[in-house]
Amino acid sequence: MRSKESMLDRTQVVIVAEKYPLARASLADLLKYDGYRALQADNFGAAMNQIESVENVFAVLVDLDLVGWRTLVRQAVDGKRLVIAMRGEHFVSNGELDQRGVSVCFDKPIIYRDIAEVIKAHAAITGSVI
């Protein structure tokens, strides 16, 4: 029988890079409820550190209001991860997001069901398991 810690090590990781604490925590809680290991990042440095050092990162949710979001997206895309953008106060065109490799973009306020469907569809296509 595997320990809870070893099972956590193999669980797909979703990084929630969101500047608003309540939104970040809510998304992370919902992802955890769905069986993902959700890590929260409130700034560029924390998100970059997680993208670069955490194993099994499956998806990155990137707040487009976060300073340095373009670099976060590039790093996540280079690592072959699903990138979900969350557009809030600062408008970024869909054309730019497509060009940068963003898989999908949702305008705030976010409906979690939409994010969950994208993640599950990507997992089915790539053969990833929670």
Going from N- to C-terminal start, the domains of the chain cover 4-126
Exposure b/e, 34-70, CB count within 10 A at least 16 = b: eebbbbbbbebeebbebbeeeeebbbbbbbbbbeebe
Amino acid identity for residue 127 in this structure: G
Closest C-alpha to 121, from 104, 108, 107 = 104
Do β-strands 57-63 and 13-17 pair in parallel, antiparallel, or remain unpaired? parallel
| Rounded Cα gap, residues 41 and 18, in angstroms | 6
Query: For the segment 30-88, what is each residue's pLDDT rounded down to a tens digit?
Result: 999 999 999 999 999 999 999 999 999 999 999 999 999 999 999 999 999 999 999 99
Does domain 4-126 fall under CATH 3.40.50.2300? My reply is yes
Q: What is the pTM of this model?
A: 0.90
